[in-house]
Structures are given as structure tokens and as C-alpha cells.
Chains A and B, each alone.
Chain A
Amino acid sequence: MRRLYATVGVALCLACAHLGPSAYGEEIPRLTFAQLVDSIRANFEVTQTIKSYSGKEVEIQGFIIPAGPPDLSFFLLSRVSAMGNYCCEVPVGQDETVYVYAAKGVKILYDPLRVYKVRGAFEAGPYTDRTYGISLYRVRNARVEEAVGARIFKLGETTTPGSNK
């Protein structure tokens, strides 16, 4: 009888483990800043490939730049942290930011040196907002959380950022 309970318990745990991630949106595609930058074309245009994500739920990871109000209803998501003055180049004239319009009630402890995971409806292509001006990439109705559980690599291993969940 005990073995039966144990078997049923293990089976239930495995079922939950299998169902869990999809319930939390495992299928949501992740876009990287490298993909976004590579998709920019002349005259503020973007490629059809990146446009195909428009209206779909995506995940983008980056640093928060609180360019809007302190309730974080709007902020920029950037490849580079606003704090490290010498870590990496910030290109002038090259758009490496995503305009994030957050869903109400962003409850995070803001840390300029922390990578955050943003999920929401993606928009690609030029758009002019009355308050925040022109942008190339936007995420609307966004949910924000700290990006945790990043894969740790062994010496000699390589990876693509898209698989880093």
C-alpha cells in the first residue's frame, strides 16, 4: 500500500512539474537585444521577422532605466545598466532600448544593477507617444520580475542568450 501511495505521489509531482512551467508561460518567446538591434534598418524601419512578433506576448531581459514616473508605469529596458560608467559602450544614435508600459502595480525592489525579466505584448516599428516621444520597440501591459535562475555555464560551454531561461 505504501508503495502505491509513493508511486501515486511521485506521479503527481512529475505531472505538476510538467504542467507548472507551461502554466507560467514557458512557451513565451524570448527576444534579445542583439536580435532587436540586428533588426533595425534605415529610416527607422525594422525587419519583417521582428515585426512578426508584434501583438504577441514576448519576454525581454535587461536593466531598468527609470525614465518615467517613479511608479514605473513607464520605463526603458536597456542592454546596459545606467550605473556602470565604464563597463560597456553606450552607442549614440543607436536604439538599444525598449519602451516598457507596465501593467498597474509594478511591485519590485528597484536595483539599477539587476537584470529584470519583462513580459508583455510586443510592438515593433516607429510609433510616437505624446508623452515619451518616438520609439522603435515597445512592450505594453508588461509584467516585471527579477530575472532569476540564469543558467550557469561550465568552462568551454557556449550558449545562445535565447536559451538562458
Chain B
Amino acid sequence: MTVLTVALRSLRGRFVASALTALSIALGISLVIASVLLSRGIKEGFLEGTTDYSLVVGAKGSPTQLVLNVVFRMDVPTPNILYRSYRQLLDDPRVEVAVPVALGDAYQGFRYVATTGAYFAAFPWRRKVFAVSSGRFFRDDAPEQPTYEAVVGAEAARRTGLRVGDRFYEGEEMAEYPLAVVGILRSTGSADDRAIFFTLASFWEMNEVSRKMKIKPLTAVLVRPKRMSDLPSLHRGLNVSTETQAVFPSAVLLTIFNLLSLAEEVLTMILTTVVIVVLLYLFISMYSATLERKREIATMRALGARRATILGIVLLESCALAVIGGVAGILGGHGAAYLGASLLAARGGLVTNLSLVSALEPVVFASVIFLGALAGLLPAVLAYRTEVAENLAPLS
């Protein structure tokens, strides 16, 4: 009978205590893995889902609200800017591309984004590629002849069940202006998957207030300069103006990441405490088991088992619990992260790259085994030093 077999049989002999110890390790490791995966996934989601445009131009107010709403479809839209701000940007020799967007209203929670065909255009500097999985893109229309054609993001189409040819509206005041689905977008891995796109002319005509406005409103303009070195002067000019603000989307994200890093530090402290509590539990479990088994250990020693063998059995028991708990914890952590990501996605959050197995899992697994052995070391030494004569004495 090998040392490993003895250790496993010993664990099986006190099944409930062993299972509870492994479960506590698994829960602790699950918490660590799920927290790290979700935290990394949220950050990656923001990184992958960000815009390729260098500036977002909108009304004066919060830069974070502007970027979260225009790029990530979170928060509420900022106040309107006038269409002439967009025209001025189009005429600016420093600007290569300017794309107007108007946001407001939604269908079953999926935001309406009114824009032009330029929103979907491909450029050499653009990472994001737009393509339709069925149908076609909407046609740009004249302000007086809105087409009410809509292109639906991949996630929005999947969740609402909208198909090419369907007509839809939400709210009785919109019944006169139903949108017709002409295309479904392929997934882009960004907030555009959860949006419903149509033309600015349709948007202005659907809204009672903008219908009456002579100069039409917009929420924002996405800008890409011809030369990056022109960005500071463009940015400054738009911010000194009393009507607009210009925001670097990456600057807003970096500010959010700075805040997230503070939360991550707090989370690290909490997770460290959890790991210490789990280790203590493993130590107490192994220590009390060794105390209870002193007579059994003395018998084994009397039958010829060496001190080193006894030490090895207790250490192996501790490591086996750590391995079982570690494997279950890593699997459970991935499961919990997927569940968390699904819940966040249902609420409009972007979480990506959860399936990637990185250096995290092997490091966590190796650490669990090392710490498991460490927690079992004192009980193992206690078992090692068990005196045969003292512990084989009659009980009564």
C-alpha cells in the first residue's frame, strides 16, 4: 500500500470533515478566480469596445457621461448640440472624418442611435469592421424624406427577435413612425451590438420637438483628425467655445481605470483575508485530525512505519485536500465569472475574454498546493513526533 493510498483512505475515513475542508478551499479559490476574471474582463470589455475616433464632441457637461453614453451606450444622453457644430467640423481642414450621432429613446432597452452611413465606413486606422449578417445598411436620406430604415445590432436582434422586414416601435406616440428593419449587423464585440441604428432624418421626424426645430439637434460628433498633432488645437478650440466640449475617449477610460484600480486594491485586501481564513481552516482541520489520530499513528509506527512516512502521509492529505479544492475552485470560479458576466451583459455591461486561460490559473493552482502543504506542515511535524509508547497505553 503506497503512502498516497494511505493518505486518500485516511481522508475517506473522515469524509464529511474532508469534504467540508475541500469545499471551503474551493469557495475561497472560486471567489479569487471569479473576482480576478470579472475585473479583468470588465477592463478588457472597455478596451475592446472603445471607439477608434480620437475625439467625442458634445454639449458642455460631464466628459464621462458623454463618453459612456455615446461610446458605451450607458448613462443618459448629454444635452444637445446644434447641427451647425457638425457642419463646422466637416469644413475644418484639420478634420478627416466627422460622424454625427443623436441618441435618445430605445426599443426594449436597446438604445436608438441615429447617424449617417459614415458610422459604418471602413478606414485604414479603424480596428472595428462593420458588416451585415443579413440584409443591408440603411440608405442616407434627405431631411425632408426620412426612410425609417433601421439596422439592428447583433445582440439587440438576438434578444428582441427582430428580423429583416420587421416593423417596430415602442410607445404609442411612436406608432405613426414605425421603423423597418433592413439589416442585422454582425457582432463587433462592442456596445454597437446592443444598439439600433437609423438615419438622422428619421430621428428628427420621429421626435415632436426636433420636428419643429429649424436647426436640427445632435447629441455628439465623433472626430478623427488628419494629423494627430492637430488634436491639441482642435481639442482646445472646441473646449474654449461656450457651446461644445471635446473629450478624448481614452482619457475618460483611463480615469475610470484609475478609479477601478482603487477598487481592485480593496478587493485584493479582501481576497487576501479570504485566503488566510481558508488556510487557517485547513490548518485547524488537519491539526485536529492529527490530534484525534495519535493512537492510530502510534499503531502504524509500532507496525514499522517510519517517522518520515507518517510525515509524508499527513502532508499528502493536506496537499490532496488543496488539489481537490483548487481544481473545484478554478472550475467554480470560471463558472461564477460566466454567470456574473451574463448578468452584467444583460444590464448593458461589456465583459470579454473570460474564456482565456492565462498564467492566473497555474499560478493559483501551484500557490494552493504550496499553501496547502504549508498548512499541513505543523500537523505533519506533530504526527512525526508522536511517541509510540505514550499513545499506545491503555485508554482506561
Whether chains A and B associate is yes
List chain A positions with a Cβ less than 8 A from chain B. 65-72, 75-76, 78, 80, 82, 85-86, 90-93, 95-97, 99, 109-110, 112, 130-136
27 A-B pairs within 8 Å (CB atoms) are namely A65-B231, A65-B248, A65-B251, A66-B250, A66-B251, A67-B248, A68-B250, A70-B46, A70-B250, A70-B254, A72-B250, A78-B232, A82-B235, A82-B236, A85-B236, A90-B232, A91-B233, A92-B230, A97-B231, A97-B232, A109-B258, A110-B251, A110-B255, A110-B258, A130-B125, A132-B228, A133-B227
Q: Which chain B positions have C-beta within 8 A of A75?
A: 250
Interface size on B, residues (CB 8 A): 30
Are the CB atoms of A130 and B232 closer together than 8 Å?
no
Chain A residue at minimum C-beta to C-beta distance from B247: A82
Q: Which of A70, A72, A82, A97 is most buried by chain B, counting CB atoms within 10 A of its CB?
A: A70
* Other A-B pairs, 20, CB within 8 Å; known A68-B250, A85-B239, A92-B230: A65-B232, A65-B251, A66-B251, A70-B46, A70-B250, A70-B254, A72-B250, A82-B232, A90-B236, A96-B229, A97-B229, A99-B229, A109-B258, A110-B255, A112-B251, A130-B125, A133-B125, A134-B227, A135-B227, A136-B229
Q: Which chain B positions have C-beta within 8 A of A82?
A: 232, 235-236, 248, 251
Are the CB atoms of A67 and B227 closer together than 8 Å?
no
Query: Beta-carbon contacts of B45-77 to A below 8 Å, as 1s and 0s?
Result: 011001000100000000000000000000000
Q: Which of A67, A69, A72, A75 is most buried by chain B, counting CB atoms within 10 A of its CB?
A: A67
Are the CB atoms of A85 and B240 closer together than 8 Å?
yes
CB-based A-B contact count at 8 angstroms = 86
Q: Which chain A positions have C-beta within 8 A of B47?
A: 69-71
Q: Which chain B positions have C-beta within 8 A of A85?
A: 236, 239-240
Interface flag for B87 (CB, 8 Å): no
Q: Which chain B positions have C-beta within 8 A of A112?
A: 251
Given A110-B258, A133-B227, A134-B227, A69–B250 Cβ distance below 8 Å?
Answer: yes
Chain B residue at minimum C-beta to C-beta distance from A99: B228
Interface flag for B370 (CB, 8 Å): no
Q: How far is the CA of A80 from the CA of B233 in the complex (A)?
A: 10
Interface flag for B15 (CB, 8 Å): no
Are the CB atoms of B236 and A67 closer together than 8 Å?
no
Q: Which chain A positions have C-beta within 8 A of B261?
A: 109
Interface flag for B12 (CB, 8 Å): no
Q: How far is the CA of A7 from the CA of B225 in the complex (A)?
A: 62
